[in-house]
A and B are shown apart, each in its own frame.
Chain A
Amino acid sequence: DVVMTQSPLSLPVTLGQPASISCRSSQSLVHSDGTTYLHWFQQRPGQSPRRLIYEVSNRDSGVPDRFSGSGSGTDFTLKISRVEAEDVGVYYCLQGTQLWTFGQGTKVEIK
């Protein structure tokens, strides 16, 4: 089974400052079809999850460009260039290369 490990689990950030979340997988997420099925989700308090980034670095429609995803193989990063108040919530990575596994989640809060 693929294990997804996020860090940090809690991330206090000052408004306007950058934030970075790491997601590491226990094995390579490169599928036999060449695609890396690593996605990022945001879950605001009291809401359903929302996909932000798919296949490592593709931003979903309507997602602000301050969100970006990068990485390859087993090591991936979600970056928020300048944190805004509406970014508070929990962020999850998800691998879909070998069945599906979520990371534990990273709680982003304002300092």
Chain B
Amino acid sequence: EVQLVESGGGLVQPGGSLRLSCAASGFTFSTYWMHWVRQAPGKGLVWVSAMKSDGSRTIYADSVKGRFTISRDNAKNTLYLQMNSLRADDTAVYYCATDRFDYWGQGTLVTVSS
């Protein structure tokens, strides 16, 4: 059974940093692109970032480019999202998803507030 479990969310002050993790199981993680998608409270889904299976290519939405870094450890079957220079409008539930968005995690809430 495919499982994606996000962790690392929490309350952080504006300008702060946070690292999210997504632990994957039930499939060959190292062969799939992976995504991060976010959803602000009461709002819609927004694609954030993606990484190729071997880590050789990364893509970011303009809204996070230069502030967020996606990475992965295929030996640990884990996807990461390093978030720096956080702003209030980064407040959202962050989901990881498989390459074709056929599997999603339960999400982890990031709140940016002073």
Q: Residues of A with Cβ closer than 8 Å to B? A: 39, 41, 43, 48-51, 54, 60, 90, 92, 94, 96, 99-105
Inter-chain CB contacts under 8 Å: number: 45
**Contact residues in B for A100 (Cβ distance below 8 Å):** 35, 47, 50
User: Known contacts A48-B95, A48-B107, A49-B95: does B44 contact A104 (CB below 8 Å)?
Assistant: yes
Q: Chain B contact residues: over half helix, strand or loop, or mixed?
A: strand
Q: Chain A contact residues: over half helix, strand or loop, or mixed?
A: strand
Docked-complex contact A101 and B104, CB < 8 angstroms = no
- The distance in angstroms between the C-alpha atoms of A41 and B100, with both chains bound, is 12
Q: Which of B35, B50, B101 has the most CB atoms of chain A within a 10 A radius of its CB?
A: B101
- The distance in angstroms between the C-alpha atoms of A65 and B106, with both chains bound, is 26
- Assess whether B46 is interfacial by the CB under 8 Å rule: yes
- The distance in angstroms between the C-alpha atoms of A94 and B101, with both chains bound, is 10
Q: Chain B: how many interface residues by the 8 Å CB criterion?
A: 16
**Contact residues in B for A54 (Cβ distance below 8 Å):** 100, 102
Docked-complex contact B59 and A99, CB < 8 angstroms = yes
21 A-B pairs, CB-CB below 8 angstroms? A39-B101, A41-B101, A48-B95, A48-B106, A48-B107, A49-B37, A49-B101, A51-B100, A51-B101, A54-B100, A54-B102, A92-B44, A94-B101, A96-B101, A99-B47, A99-B59, A100-B35, A100-B47, A100-B50, A102-B44, A104-B44
Docked-complex contact B59 and A48, CB < 8 angstroms = no
**Contact residues in B for A49 (Cβ distance below 8 Å):** 37, 45, 95, 101, 104
**Contact residues in B for A104 (Cβ distance below 8 Å):** 44
**Contact residues in A for B102 (Cβ distance below 8 Å):** 51, 54, 60
- The distance in angstroms between the C-alpha atoms of A101 and B62, with both chains bound, is 12
- The distance in angstroms between the C-alpha atoms of A48 and B101, with both chains bound, is 11
Q: Which of A43, A60, A100 has the most CB atoms of chain B within a 10 A radius of its CB?
A: A100
- The distance in angstroms between the C-alpha atoms of A103 and B44, with both chains bound, is 8
